[in-house]
Structure 1
Amino acid sequence: MAASTSYTAPATHANQPEPVRVTDFGRTAEGATAQLYTLRNAHGLQVSITNYGGTITQLLVPDRAGQLSDVVLGFDSLADYQSPAYRKAGPYFGALIGRYANRIAGGRFQLNGQQYTLATNNNGNALHGGLRGFDKVLWQAEPGSSPAGPTLRLSYLSPDGEEGYPGNLHVTVTYTLTHDNALQLDYTATTDQATPVNLTNHTYFNLALGRNADVLNHEVQLAADRYTVVNDSQIPTGEQRPVAGTPFDFTAPQAIGSRIAQVPGGYDHNWELRQPTDLQPAASVYEPTTGRTLDVATSQPGVQFYTANFLDGSLTGKAGITYGKHAGLCLETQHFPDSPNQPRFPSTILEPGQTFSATTVYRFGVRAAE
């Protein structure tokens, strides 16, 4: 592992954090060197992100006693993210997802009278960008600083025809670790041909990682009154069903484990957020043993709440922790699954001359013992 280097941006805050620290993270299968960028805010919160897949590998936040510890699933080396076991399991730990997050039925859609066929990688459907989505490419990285906190700007050009999608898509994702203890992701994209775009991040949170093997005691609240019904292949049927009276009702805080047995396979569904705005509350999470809280706000219309149903103990991550079923939870802010084939859903088509723009904020805090 190479010695650490640092990028020092101009001071923009009275309590200037450490500069962005840069270290080599390993080599890709193609022989390119990936790097790891570590951002630290004025209060000691710390996030590490590799430009391989834009992957969040570590996130240190305090518990109610002020003890900093990691709250995301992942690995310490690039080799682990490229291992056969990881590729087979396909959990997308911490990665940027695109060109289209979630599923497109049959790997097909029609646009402007033309049918497009995508790479399929999930029961005959296209999932999370295909065989080599944005999670498996090396992004151009630019560390920096803003008045809000240290930043990392990642850029990628997805060429016309990649994984079957039309158009040259220029994507930029900026991570900001703010001085008020939030991790903000700002997404933008432009294209030279009409194309579906649905971008998200696939971080698995466990606010008691290393203390609790699963997240079933985490209390979750979602700002949604309806969810998207799916078939056995996780493809939307088109029905948008009220959550009231169902185990999908998280309009008030509920422990994940209280009703998950009533959902075959576990939670892996899209909830429709109530009032899409520039930045709206989407979800909140509370972990009672550590007191940690996570509040999510987004400009996206939906959130995919996923409870790591397919982890089976075959992957061992940081600090020797084995990741079993329900070891983490994902709150993937995004558009709805299969939107290119669902005319009633909000459109995901980006046209030339338009700019896709979205923001998601993950804010961390603590709650006193009850």
Structure 2
Amino acid sequence: MEVTIKRFGELDGKTINKISITNHNGMGLTCLDYGCIITEIRVPDSKGDIENVVLGFDNLEDYLKYSPYFGAVVGRVAGRIKDGRFSLDGNDYVLAKNNNGNHLHGGLKGLDKVIWDAKVHAEGPVAKIEFTYESTDGEEGYPGNVSLRTVYTLTDANELFVEFFGTTDRKTILNLTNHTYFNLTGNAKSTILGHTLKLDSERFLELDENLIPTGNVIDVEGTAFDFRKGRKLSDGPASSHEQNLFAGKGYDHPFVLSKKKSATIELRCDDNGRKVEVETNQPAVVVYTSNQLEGDFLLSGGAKPEPYLAICLETQNYPDAINHPDFPSTVVDKGEEYYSFTKFTFKTV
């Protein structure tokens, strides 16, 4: 494994570092200690050409000014919490509101906007980047001092493991995810509408006009949300289903994973043979097809932002679960450990 650490910029008088790992196959991972942001994942296509398959920026200033959570860890709780409020053990908590009166992705300064401590461990066919951060009681409105650890592991089998660990000194809620924007065309040469997505999911969560779960769970049968046998992502923008329209003519929905097999998610680009298989211990994945991606900026490699330029596969618990007793719990008590595991395996077909 080849490891390099370089200065990427400075924030609040602190140096932001860029950490790169390359395995013996030429696959590479680059990330920052700011927000644990994954800036690049470099993988081969069926011809052996290695290109970056995620969206990002070449400088820190663009991440600070423009980024819609490109590649970042988001939390303490990913997704939206309705009205930025929840109750726990009879106590009411008011969170930072940063999305139409609701709380989104951890608030105004979530985990994507803090500097983490980073250590790199490389030995043989495995290299790990371990990030740690102490989130203090009351941060963005959340209770409890929470010790957090994010670990990215790259192997010579072209596997990328994303793991989250958390412990708290007081009962709280946790639901972390990584918000990487994938585009398997390489260097964002075209949109992801020609990508094929396969999901082992029979149901998805209904959303309201503000993209917050209503509490209803919808069967995918007969809809553009049925990815069980694989379907092109272009079916979302073409769909007249109310849920696709709510999301801005595409997808921004939590899918309930069936857990019938290990690789529950598969994304494929038939034009170049790149494929990524995803396994997770989480009960859901939020599929977001960057329906509103736009702006007056350039991405790494010179690509211009446009709708459907990438897809996010945000493995996590159900959004707004704390306000829905029927959803799986996101509560973590003192003495418990929060743990989230996702493996991305990059292949060619």
TM-score (norm 1): 0.90
Q: Equivalent residue for 1:304?
A: 286
Which residue does the alignment assign to 2:274? 292
CA distance in structure 2 between the partners assigned to 1:174 and 1:349 by the alignment: 22
Aligned-partner SS, 1:188: strand
**Post-superposition shift, 1:31?**
1.9
Distance (whole Å) between structure 1 residues aligned to residue 176 and residue 124 of structure 2: 25
Per-residue deviation, residues 71-101 of structure 1 (Å, max 9, x unmatched): 0000111111112xx1xxx510000111000
- Identify which of 110, 121, 133 aligns with 1:133: 110
* 2:252 equivalent in structure 1: 268
- Residues 163 and 50 (structure 1 numbering): CA distance in 2 closer, same or farther, change over 3 Å? same
Shift of 1:44: 1.1
Distance 1:236 1:312 in 2: 25
Give the share of equivalent positions with the same residue, in percent. Answer: 41
Does the 8 Å CA contact 1:282/1:303 hold for their aligned counterparts?
no
CA distance in 2, matches of 1:211, 1:121: 29
* Distance in 2 separating the partners of 1:340 and 1:146: 41
Match of 2:224 in 1: 247
* Shift of residue 111, structure 1, vs aligned partner: 0.1
CA contact (8 A) 1:57 1:74 kept: yes
Taking the aligned partners of 2:331 and 2:20, their CA distance within structure 1 comes to: 34
The 1:189–1:313 alpha-carbon spacing in structure 2 relative to 1, beyond 3 Å, is same
| 2-structure distance, mates of 1:185, 1:329 | 17
Which of 196, 206, 214 is residue 237 of structure 1 equivalent to? 214
Question: Residues of 1 paired with 2:236 and 2:7: CA distance?
Answer: 43
Tell me which residue corresponds to 1:61.
43
CA–CA separation in structure 2 for the residues paired with 1:318 and 1:174: 24
Q: Deviations over 1:305-340 (max 9, x none)?
A: 000011124331112111111110000000001000
The 8 Å contact of residues 236 and 251 in structure 2, kept in 1 or not, is answered as: no
Q: Detail structure 1 runs of 4+ shifted over 2 Å in the superposition.
A: 145-148, 209-213, 258-261, 279-282
1:12 is aligned to none
- Residue 331 of structure 2 is matched in structure 1 by 349
SS in 2 for 1:80: helix
Structure 2 unaligned blocks of 5 or more: none
Tell me if structure 1 keeps the 8 A contact 2:23–2:125.
no
Q: Kindly indicate whether residue 90 of structure 2 is the aligned counterpart of residue 97 of structure 1.
A: no
Give 1:124 deviation, angstroms: 0.6
Q: Is the 8 A contact 1:99 1:196 kept in 2?
A: yes
Deviation at 1:33, TM superposition (A): 0.7
Q: Name the structure 1 match of 2:4.
A: 21
Preserved contact between residue 148 and residue 176 of structure 1 (Cα < 8 Å) = no
Q: Work out the CA distance in 1 between the residues paired with 2:235 and 2:257.
A: 22
What corresponds to 2:92 in structure 1? 115
Per-residue deviation, residues 104-128 of structure 1 (Å, max 9, x unmatched): 0000000000100000101111000
Q: How many residues align?
A: 342
The residue aligned with 1:177 is 154
* Deviations 1:131-166 (CA, angstroms, capped at 9, x unpaired): 000000000000012565111000001000000000
Q: Deviations over 1:3-40 (max 9, x none)?
A: xxxxxxxxxxxxxx22x210001011x12110011011
Task: Render the CA deviation track for 1:323-358: whole Å, top value 9, x for unaligned.
Answer: 111110000000001000000000000000000111
2:59 is matched with which residue: 77, 83, 99? Answer: 77
Equivalent in the alignment of 2:202: 225
Whole-Å Cα distance in 2 between the matches of residues 166 and 357 of structure 1? 18
Do the aligned residues in 2 keep the contact of 1:92 with 1:202 (CA within 8 Å)? yes
Flag the 1:124–1:148 CA change in 2: closer, same or farther, 3 A: farther
Partner of 2:145: 168
RMSD: 1.3
Aligned letter for 1:69? Answer: E
